[in-house]
Amino acid sequence: MPPATLKDVADLARVSMRTVSNVVSGYEHVSERMRQRVQSAIDELDYRPNLVARTLRTGRTGVLALVIPEIDVPYFSELARDVIKAAAEIGYRVMIDQSGHDHERERELLTGGDRTMLFDGVLFSPLVTKAELLEMGARASMPLVLLGEHQFDGRYDHVAIDNERAAHDATQHLIDIGRRRIAAIGEQPFEDYETPHLRTKGYLSALAGADIEPDAHLMRPAVHYRRADGYSATQQLLALEHHPDAIFCYSDILALGAIKAVFDAGLRVPEDIAVIGIDDVEEGQYSRPTLSTVSLDTPFIAHHAVARIAARIDDPTTTAEEVVAPHSLIVRQSTAG
Amino acid sequence: MPPATLKDVADLARVSMRTVSNVVSGYEHVSERMRQRVQSAIDELDYRPNLVARTLRTGRTGVLALVIPEIDVPYFSELARDVIKAAAEIGYRVMIDQSGHDHERERELLTGGDRTMLFDGVLFSPLVTKAELLEMGARASMPLVLLGEHQFDGRYDHVAIDNERAAHDATQHLIDIGRRRIAAIGEQPFEDYETPHLRTKGYLSALAGADIEPDAHLMRPAVHYRRADGYSATQQLLALEHHPDAIFCYSDILALGAIKAVFDAGLRVPEDIAVIGIDDVEEGQYSRPTLSTVSLDTPFIAHHAVARIAARIDDPTTTAEEVVAPHSLIVRQSTAG
DNA sequence: TTGTAAGCGTTATCAC
DNA sequence: GTGATAACGCTTACAA
């Protein structure tokens, strides 16, 4: 037996489809008697509105896309959790799309690609470069909020931390505990991503403030921000004639990989090398040593991102806003002493 | 300017909508001249088929739902990654739904809830009890594949490891390295979930095989399978007069929480207490000590689950299959020696 | 307050 | 091989 339709309900209740629709969508001006009659027909047939038909008619799907590089990177899965929660609170569902570090795929997702109209808006945690982003802006047909990026040109809504200050704070903390040979892992020299650049800027400004000469050997790139990348970058640092006495990693799991590399080399964290990350993922509270980090307040980010996209869906002409999410230094064992 | 429709393309190419549709969907019997003419009109208008309209007509959305308790639990985010990948390979997209340990929400998701017809099938990693599952079966209107559960009654497709044997293997390994007071964390005594029960069964059978008397004090429940649950359960084990010399945890992050509790109490892993988990999440390769575990082959699980659901969508009458995923013991530092 | 009917963009059934 | 046209199930002017 196929699912009941609006018409079936109307026939059973002996009213018009219009009236049933009114009842279903909670329209105000329906007499109580009608409402009862219709409701019992709905119950009897176990009627559920067909969302696809509704969407075709209204143009609204009630679905948001969350585009992230990889769902199994803890920061993104924790962000996804918060976004799904925030979206549910205002009646949206979330479809997660993995860009998988693939620029082509990102572009496709943003410009609509082969899946037009499957969602009302996009929350986008991009890997794209500045140039690509601008180019896409021209084609993107959908409400868009950028997460984590800080490219304010008045065209997109943004929700991000102050990356430069966050990196500065982390580096400053390492200086404050007396470290001088401070390495940085996470720059992406061959890409025009804004986030790593801003973090490098913050790292360098903190060094400058302490009159520490930056050393190019201590700045290691990381193609992706995964544990293995932090591990191998740290191995290279340890192979230097003078290894660093501290490492600032541009993500927590990069830092967790770094810590393992330090111990595998027979050195200790934090005694020989202090390590700090960014993100404050739960894993860092259980690692040994526990991980010092810069906390990003993902619930805040998720809440504001969803609020912005909802506003933009309701009124596409609303002026773009830039929301700066708070961050805070969290000192744990990996930088103790 | 609103997006171009099939009709716009037809008008521009001076052909009927039928012909355009044929070209778009790659129908065979279209003359090359027609195809060219239509294609250039498509390009000129930057036409993209409206998936919602197509769905309304065909009844297929091309979307699968993946229902899991929490996306930010590593096992689930890694599973999600593999499911998304496997689904993409055969043209499906995935919408992730968090049940959040909420039975009511699970039921709603399964019976269609308020979101009928938004996806073609459901991949369900359930927390529901046996009784609920059977009850739902009656109402569920959608193709369904169960992940991780092992309730074979011929009604649902299942993809799962042999939970009992996996637990047996883990426990046996602890016995093999000479441990006798072997604790288990993860039973859920107040719930009728099958997975924990099966693991407990495997744990007990391994003990029995080694003539070790089970000790109720060494079997600690865990409401959820998060790090904090493993941590607190282990604290309770350590408070016993005779603490265990090994702990088998029903998930990896439970085990990671357990390891932290052991060290925080001034004891060592594996010297004082060996620890093993189940799942083989990446985090366990970077923890200190690295985590022994039972590996689940999530790509296998994802691949077969997606294949089954696709088969069931194509033919709802196909007989339910039970796919048993392979598992393998992985010995790392946390049980060395 | 309720009924009638047009139309959202496709695909599919019929003819030709 | 191609063209007209009727659904798919819903919302919403427009009427009554």
Over pLDDT 70: what percentage of chain A?
Answer: 90
Q: What is the mean pLDDT of residues A87-113?
A: 79
Cα separation, B178 vs B19, in Å, equals: 74
* Secondary structure of residue A175 in the 3-state scheme: helix
Question: Does B220 share its domain with B271?
Answer: yes
Query: Does residue B115 carry a pLDDT above 70?
Result: no
Where are the strands (E) in chain A, listed by range? Answer: 63-68, 93-98, 121-124, 144-147, 157-161, 182-187, 219-221, 246-249, 274-276, 293-295, 322-325, 328-330
pLDDT band at B189 (very low <50, low <70, confident <90, very high): confident
What is the Cα–Cα distance from B233 to B237, expressed in whole angstroms?
6
pLDDT at B233: 98
Give the residue, A122 or A118, on which the prediction is more confident: A122
pLDDT at residue A139 is higher than 70: no
pLDDT for res B301 = 97
Q: Are residues B230 and B190 in the same domain?
A: yes
Low-confidence winner among A71-75, A139-143, A274-278, B68-72 (lowest mean pLDDT): A139-143
Query: Which protein residue's Cα is closest to nucleotide D9 at C1'?
Result: A53
Q: Are B94 and B104 part of one and the same domain?
A: yes
Q: What pLDDT band is residue A227 in, cutting at 50, 70 and 90?
A: very high
Query: What gap in Å lies between CA B247 and CA A305, rounded to an integer?
Result: 42
Distance CA B266, CA B272 (A): 10
In a domain, B55, yes or no: no
Q: What is the average pLDDT score of chain A?
A: 89
In a domain, A58, yes or no: no
Report residue A188: phi and psi, to 5°: -125, 80
User: How near does any CA of chain B get to the CA of A283, in Å?
Assistant: 8
Rounded to two decimals, the pTM is 0.91
Distance in angstroms: CA A111, C1' D3: 33
Q: Which chain A residues touch B3 with a CB distance below 8 Å?
A: 116-117, 141
Same domain for B277 and B168:
yes
**pLDDT tens readout for residues A165-219:** 999 999 999 999 999 999 999 998 777 788 899 999 999 999 999 999 999 999 9
- The per-residue b/e assignment along B173-207, b for 16 or more CB within 10 angstroms, e otherwise, is bbbebebebbbbbbbbeeeebbbbbbbbebbbebb
Say yes or no for a CB contact (<8 Å) between A114 and B77.
Answer: no
Joined tokens for residue A119: 């969602």
Q: Which pair of tokens denotes residue A57?
A: 């008619």
Same domain, A76 and A101: yes
pLDDT in tens, A258-286: 999 999 999 999 999 999 999 999 999 99
Region of residue B278 (left: phi > 0; alpha: psi -120 to 50; beta: else): beta
Say whether B323 sits in a helix, a strand or coil: strand
The minimum CA-CA distance between B190 and chain A, rounded to whole Å, is 27
A235 close to B (CB below 8 A): no
Q: Using the predicted structure, report yes or no on whether residue A287 has a pLDDT greater than 90.
A: yes
Note the pLDDT tens digit of each residue in A174-187: 999 999 999 999 99
Instruction: Write out pLDDT tens, residues B8-21.
Output: 999 889 998 989 99
Q: What is the pLDDT of residue B81?
A: 95
On the question of pLDDT at B138 being above 80, the answer is no
Closest among A310, A281, A307 to A294, alpha carbons compared:
A281
Q: Which CATH number does the domain housing residue B41 bear?
A: 1.10.260.40
Asked, for residue B76, whether it belongs to a domain, the answer is: yes
Identify whether the C-beta of residue A133 lies closer than 8 Å to the C-beta of residue A151: yes
Can you give the CATH number for the domain in which A184 is found? 3.40.50.2300
CB contact under 8 A, B81 and A71: yes
Q: What per-residue confidence (pLDDT) applies to B180? A: 97
CB atoms within 10 A of CB B128: 23
Specify the amino acid at residue B277: G
First-to-final CA distance of chain B: 70
Alpha helices in A210-247 (DSSP H): 227-238
Would the Cβ of A5 be found within 7 angstroms of any atom in strand D? yes
Nucleotide nearest to A9 (CA to C1'): D9
Q: How many whole angstroms separate alpha carbon A32 and alpha carbon B196?
A: 50
Are residues A169 and A277 located together in one domain of the fold? Answer: yes
User: Are the C-beta atoms of residues A50 and A5 closer than 8 Å to each other?
Assistant: yes
Regarding whether A236 and A120 lie in a shared domain, the answer is no
CA distance A123 to A131: 19
Give pLDDT, residue B101. Answer: 75
Find residues 31-50 of chain A whose CB sits inside 8 Å of chain B.
48-50
Residue type, B331: V
**Is B242 inside a domain boundary?**
yes
pLDDT value, residue B99? 81
Q: Into how many domains does chain A fold? A: 3
Residue B137 pLDDT exceeds 70: no
Percent of chain A as helix, strand, coil, to the nearest 5 = 45, 15, 40
List, in sequence order, every residue forming a beta bridge with A61; answer none if it has no partner.
Answer: none
pLDDT of A132 reads 67
Q: What is the mean pLDDT of residues B259-287?
A: 98
Task: Supply the pLDDT for residue B64.
Answer: 92
Pick from A6, A27, A25: nearest CA to A17: A6
Same-domain status, A245 and A142: no
Nearest nucleotide to the CA of A38, by C1', is C2
- The number of beta carbons lying within 10 Å of the beta carbon of residue B259 is 30
Confidence of residue B48 (pLDDT cuts 50, 70, 90): confident
Does residue A55 belong to any structural domain of this protein?
A: no
| A220: β partners | A185
Pick out the nucleotide with least CA–C1' distance to A48. D9
> What tens digit of pLDDT does each residue of B197-224 get?
999 999 999 999 999 999 999 999 998 8
Q: Do A178 and A292 share a structural domain?
A: yes
Query: pLDDT band for position A133 (50/70/90)?
Result: low
| A108 within some domain | yes
Containing structural domain, residue B233: 163-296+329-336
| 8-state DSSP, A120 | S
Question: How do residues B226-257 score in pLDDT, each as one tens digit?
Answer: 999 999 999 999 999 999 999 999 999 999 99
Domain match, B193 and B264 both = yes
Distance, in Å, from the CA atom of B206 to the CA atom of B187, rounded to the nearest integer, reads 16
In a domain, B57, yes or no: no
Identify the CA nearest to A42 among candidates A28, A29, A24: A24
The mean pLDDT of B46-54, rounded to a whole number, is 88
A49 φ, ψ to 5°?
-60, 140
* Residue at A138 is within a domain: yes
As a whole number, mean pLDDT of residues B251-268 equals 98
Asked whether the beta carbons of residue B117 and residue A50 sit closer than 8 angstroms, the reply is yes
Is there a single domain that holds both residue A77 and residue A136? yes
Percent of chain A exceeding pLDDT 90 equals 59
Q: Are B308 and B145 spatial neighbours (Cβ–Cβ below 8 Å)?
A: yes
- When pLDDT is averaged across residues B307-315 and rounded to a whole number, the result is 92
Residues in chain B within 8 Å Cβ distance of A77: 71-72, 74, 77
Share of residues in chain B with pLDDT > 70 (%):
90
**Residues A122 and A176 both lie in one domain:** no
Residue B135 has pLDDT above 90, yes or no: no
